[in-house]
Amino acid sequence: MDMTPEFIVLAAVLVLALVQILAAGAARTAELGGKWNAGPRDGNPPPPGKLAGRLKRAQDNLFETLPLFIAAVLMAVVADKTGELTAWGAHLYLAARLLYVPLYAFGVPYVRSLVWMGGLAGLVMIIAALFV
């Protein structure tokens, strides 16, 4: 099976997920030091600083919709329901998720929420295609 546009975007979203894991971890390690990162992390660490907290929350936010995105893309491809709607939806989801990270990291209100809604719209487009 060839890589559909939806699968290519899915692969890119998975790379983004790895980048977000690494970015959040690196920010937290920068706050607490390499010794903490390499240690057993016993006890309660201090709450994260602004940047580390924002990056972790952006990562958590991605992980809330990522299973739905993966399932929707897989179902669309397996059911042979791919087309313009799913391709546009997948690209919209990816673009929104890419924009969301720096908007959250820099604490940009309102625009961040609009971008999140764009990602949700992309996901809904893919799911809608399953019923067309």
DSSP codes of every residue in 117-129: HHHHHHHHHHHHH
pLDDT of residue 45: 86
The arithmetic mean of pLDDT across residues 85-97, rounded, is 98
Q: Give pTM, 2 decimals.
A: 0.94
pLDDT of residue 90: 98
pLDDT of residue 36: 85
How far apart (Å, rounded) are the C-alpha atoms in residues 79 and 52? Answer: 40
Which of 6, 7, 17, 4 has the alpha carbon at shortest distance from 98? 17
How far apart (Å, rounded) are the C-alpha atoms in residues 65 and 32? Answer: 29
pLDDT of residue 25: 95
Kindly give, in sequence order, each residue whose CB lies less than 8 Å from that of residue 45, ignoring residues fewer than 6 positions away: 32, 36
